[in-house]
Amino acid sequence: MNKGYGVTIKVSQPGDPEPTTAPLVVVARDERDAEVVAEKAAGPNAHAETLRELTEEEILEYGLDMNAHGTAKALPILHFNK
pLDDT in tens, 8-52: 999 998 888 889 899 999 999 999 999 999 999 998 899 999 999
Domain boundaries, the chain: 3-69
Please state the pTM of the whole predicted model: 0.86
Return the pLDDT at 2: 97
Look at residue 77 in the predicted model and tell me its pLDDT: 66
From residue 71, alpha-carbon distances to 13, 15, 33, 56 in Å are: 24, 30, 11, 16
CB distance 60 to 75 below 8 Å = no
- The answer to whether 48 and 8 are in contact (CB under 8 A) is yes
Q: What pLDDT sits at residue 55?
A: 96
Q: What is the pLDDT of residue 65?
A: 97
